Amino acid sequence: MSAALVSLQVGVPRIVHQDGQEVSTGIFKSPVAGRVRMRHLNLDGDQQADLTVHGGQDKAVYAYPSEHYPFWKKELPGVDLPWGSFGENLTTSGLLEGGVFLGDRYTIGTAEVVVTQPRLPCFKLNLKFGRDDMIKRFLHCGRTGFYFRVLREGEVGAGDEIVRVHQDENRVSVTDVLNLYVHGLDSGDVRERALRVPYLSASWREELSGQG
């Protein structure tokens, strides 16, 4: 099945209020028409609010499968869910967590990216949806999406084909490493194989090394 970029979103941090406190968050993204420059740290027009937990080279661009939206529309009846609702930069088709491997490289437009880790949501996902259970539901359903590191800067836009140009030989899927993290399932030596992936993000490398 071919993969494609369905929608492209960017956003700058905004202030929202939670329990009387001001919180800066970049989770609110809006679709962009036309083509956008994908750079080593983000897309043009996009910013992360808290660089201690978001952004950086390992988490430059966040992708989320469009195939998960019907699931969430059933789970969250009455909630408007336009593309970008989960804070993703790239809403994709044809790329699901079970078939996307850490270290896989893809071309999108004239850019090249590599998969570095699943997304672990922070409290701002709860904040965006006004629910205390979104983080738990997001993680436990396994529909988290994944982060890309940008290997080659380039122009991207909705409708671009996403082509896998290299499949990592360790074959650790995003689902595999999520199951290890969330449920402690290490079938087929997932932890050991994940640590062999050159492009595994630094934070996940530290996390998985600590489980040894």
DSSP three-state, residue 114 = strand
What whole-number distance in Å separates Cα of residue 208 and Cα of residue 205?
5
40-62 pLDDT, tens digit per residue, is: 999 998 876 555 555 689 999 99
DSSP three-state, residue 206 = helix
What whole-number distance in Å separates Cα of residue 205 and Cα of residue 58?
11
pLDDT band, residue 212 (cuts 50/70/90): very low
Domain count for the chain: 1
CATH of the domain at 14: 2.40.33.20
> Over 70: is that where the pLDDT of 88 sits?
yes
The answer for residues whose C-beta is within 8 angstroms of residue 27's C-beta and 6 or more apart is 11, 87, 124, 125, 127, 128
The answer for residues whose C-beta is within 8 angstroms of residue 11's C-beta and 6 or more apart is 26, 27, 28, 29, 30, 45, 46, 47, 84
Domain assignment of residue 95, given as a range: 3-209
Residue 202 corresponds to which tokens in the numbers above? Answer: 């630094």
- H or E element in which residue 191 lies: helix 190-194
- Report the percent of the chain where pLDDT is more than 70: 91
> Over 80: is that where the pLDDT of 197 sits?
yes
Distances, alpha carbon 100 to alpha carbons 52, 89, 94, 168, 174, in Å: 26, 17, 10, 10, 6
- Dihedral (CA of 50, 52, 58, 64) sign: negative
Lowest-confidence segment of 52-61, 140-149, 183-192, 199-208 by average pLDDT? 52-61
pLDDT of residue 1: 59
> Over 80: is that where the pLDDT of 184 sits?
yes
What whole-number distance in Å separates Cα of residue 101 and Cα of residue 50?
27
pLDDT of residue 12: 76
DSSP three-state, residue 176 = helix
169-183 pLDDT, tens digit per residue, is: 999 999 999 999 998
pLDDT of residue 19: 66
What whole-number distance in Å separates Cα of residue 9 and Cα of residue 191?
32
Question: For 40, what's the count of Cα atoms within 13 Å in the CB-facing half-sphere?
Answer: 3
The DSSP output letter for 100 is: -
1-44 pLDDT, tens digit per residue, is: 599 999 999 987 767 766 677 676 667 788 998 999 999 999 99
Cβ atoms 96, 43 nearer than 8 A: no
95-131 pLDDT, tens digit per residue, is: 999 999 999 999 999 999 999 999 998 777 888 888 8
What whole-number distance in Å separates Cα of residue 165 and Cα of residue 212?
32
What whole-number distance in Å separates Cα of residue 51 and Cα of residue 59?
10
